[in-house]
C-alpha cells in the first residue's frame, strides 16, 4: 500500500515509517527542512517538502496515496482540522488515520476503554471538535480512524525526558506531583508504531486507545527513572503549583490518574503490545 504520512521525522514518525516499510508498504513523508528530509529518508520514506499549513501539498500527496497517517502535532485545533480536511479530501475513499491522545479522558477513576466520557484538561481540550469532525466525514464515503496514544516511552522518551528526567538530573532527584499515586497509561513507541500499521485495516469510524494496559504510578516511574539517571533512586515530591510553574499547563495532564485497557485494538485488529514492563525499561534505559 502507498501511504502518505505527516510527522515522519519525529519520535513516533520514524518508528512508524520503519514499521510500515518493514510490512511492505511504500511511504511518502512530509518534511519541513533538510534535516527532516534526511531523517525520513534514513527511516525508509520518500520526502515531500512542506508543512501542515501547506494545504495544497497535503491534499496532493494524500491524493497520490491509498492511505494517510497523520502524526504531526499542529499548534492549534483550527490548524489541525484544516490539515486533516485537506488530507481526507485528497485520499477520498482511502483510510485516513488521525492522531488523538488519551489525555482527553481526564481522570478515569479505574480502568476504562474508548467509551469513557471525555473530560480533557485545557491543554488538549481542542481535540474534541477536531476528532468529531474527522469521524463525521466518514459518513460521506471516507475511512477515518483515530488512534489515541497514551504517554510514550522507549527511545527518546520525549515528554518524560523533557519535563522530568532532565530537570531531575540538574536538581539531583526526579520529581513527581503530589503523592505520585496517580497512574500513567504508557505505551512503548515501537508498539504504537505497530498499532498505526494495524489501524490501516480498521473499520471506518473506529477509535483505538494506544496503550499497553500497564499503568504504573507516577512515583514508580520517577523511582525507575532516578535509578537509570544515576541518582541512586532519589525522588522528590513537588506540589501541583510548583509543577504548573515549572511545566506550564501540561502539568495538568501529567497529574491525571488514568488507567486504560487495550482490549478493543487487541480484539478488532489483532494488535498485542510486546513491551509490558515499562518500569524495567525506565530503570535500565
Domain presence at residue 268: no
**Domain containing 225 — which CATH number?**
3.90.25
74, 91, 102: which is closest to 140 by C-alpha? 91
Same domain, yes or no: 77 and 30: yes
Cell numbers that stand for 54 in this block? 501547506
Query: Do 170 and 236 fall within a single domain?
Result: yes
Based on the fold, state whether residues 11 and 58 are members of the same structural domain. Answer: yes
Q: pLDDT band for position 237 (50/70/90)?
A: very high
What integer is the mean pLDDT of 112-122?
97
Residues 6+ apart with CB under 8 A from 212: 150, 185, 186, 187, 188, 191, 262, 273, 275, 276, 278
pLDDT classification of 157: cutoffs 50, 70, 90: low
**Greater model confidence, 254 or 138:** 254
C-alpha to C-alpha distance for 187 and 157, rounded to whole angstroms: 11
- pLDDT one-digit tens code per residue, 163-176: 999 999 999 999 99
Q: What is the mean pLDDT of the chain?
A: 96
Report pLDDT for 148: 98
135/248 same-domain check:
no
The C-alpha atoms of residue 199 and residue 207 are separated, in whole angstroms, by 9
What confidence score (pLDDT) does residue 285 get?
80
Residue ranges making up the domain that contains 219: 154-185+214-258+274-284
Task: With a cut of 70, say whether residue 228 has pLDDT above it.
Answer: yes
Does the pLDDT value for residue 132 go beyond 70? yes
Question: What is the C-alpha to C-alpha distance for residues 198 and 62, in angstroms, rounded to an integer?
Answer: 19
Same domain assignment for residues 111 and 175: no
List all residues 6 or more positions away from 33 whose beta carbon is below 8 Å from its beta carbon.
Answer: none
The bridge status of strand 186-188 relative to strand 259-260 is unpaired
- Residue 75 has a pLDDT of 85
Helix (H, G, I), strand (E, B) or coil at 113: coil
Domain total of the chain: 2
In a domain, 53, yes or no: yes
Report which of 172, 146, 152, 161 is spatially closest to residue 236, judged by C-alpha positions: 172
Give the pLDDT confidence score for residue 17 in this predicted structure.
98
Q: What is the mean pLDDT of residues 150-160?
A: 88
Compute the average pLDDT of residues 194-198: 98
* The three three-digit cell numbers of residue 138, written as one number: 466518514
Question: What average pLDDT score do residues 157-165 get?
Answer: 89
Per-residue pLDDT at 93 exceeds 70: yes
Asked if 243 and 183 touch (Cβ cutoff 8 Å), the reply is no
Contact 166, 110 (CB under 8 A): no
How many residues are listed for the chain in this entry?
285
pLDDT digits (tens, 9 = 90+) for 212-224: 999 999 999 999 9
Reported as half-sphere exposure (CB side, CA atoms, 13 A), residue 231 has a value of: 24
DSSP, collapsed to helix, strand or coil, labels residue 247 as helix
In this structure, are 6 and 143 located in the same domain? yes
Confidence at 146, pLDDT banded by 50, 70, 90: very high
Amino acid at each position: 500500500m502507498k501511504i502518505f504520512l505527516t510527522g515522519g521525522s519525529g519520535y513516533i514518525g520514524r518508528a512508524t515509517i520503519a514499521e510500515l516499510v518493514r510490512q511492505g508498504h511504500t511511504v511518502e513523508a512530509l518534511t519541513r527542512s533538510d534535516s527532516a528530509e534526511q531523517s525520513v529518508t534514513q527511516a525508509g520514506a520518500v520526502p515531500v517538502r512542506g508543512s501542515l499549513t501547506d494545504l495544497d501539498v497535503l491534499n496532493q500527496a494524500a491524493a497520490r496515496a491509498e492511505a494517510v497517517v497523520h502524526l504531526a502535532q499542529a499548534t492549534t485545533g483550527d490548524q489541525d482540522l484544516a490539515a486533516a480536511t485537506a488530507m481526507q479530501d485528497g485520499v477520498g475513499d482511502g483510510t485516513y488515520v488521525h492522531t488523538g491522545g488519551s489525555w482527553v479522558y481526564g481522570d478515569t477513576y479505574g480502568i476504562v476503554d474508548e467509551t469513557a466520557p471525555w473530560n480533557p484538561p485545557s491543554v488538549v481540550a481542542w481535540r474534541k471538535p477536531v476528532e468529531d469532525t474527522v469521524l463525521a466525514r466518514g459518513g460521506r464515503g471516507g475511512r477515518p480512524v483515530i488512534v489515541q496514544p497514551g504517554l510514550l516511552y522507549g527511545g527518546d522518551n520525549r515528554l518524560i525526558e523533557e519535563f522530568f528526567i532532565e530537570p531531575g538530573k540538574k536538581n539531583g532527584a526526579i520529581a513527581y506531583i503530589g503523592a505520585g499515586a496517580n497512574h500513567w497509561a504508557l505505551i512503548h513507541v515501537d508498539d504504537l508504531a505497530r498499532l498505526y500499521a494495524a489501524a490501516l485495516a480498521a473499520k471506518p469510524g473506529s477509535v483505538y486507545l494506544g496503550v499497553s494496559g500497564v499503568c504504573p504510578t507516577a512515583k514508580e516511574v520517577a523511582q525507575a527513572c532516578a535509578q537509570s539517571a544515576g541518582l541512586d533512586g532519589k525522588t522528590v515530591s513537588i506540589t501541583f503549583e510548583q509543577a504548573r510553574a515549572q511545566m506550564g499547563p501540561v502539568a495538568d495532564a501529567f497529574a491525571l490518574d488514568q488507567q486504560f485497557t487495550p482490549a478493543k485494538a487487541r480484539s478488532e485488529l489483532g494488535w498485542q503490545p510486546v513491551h509490558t514492563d515499562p518500569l524495567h525499561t525506565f530503570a535500565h534505559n
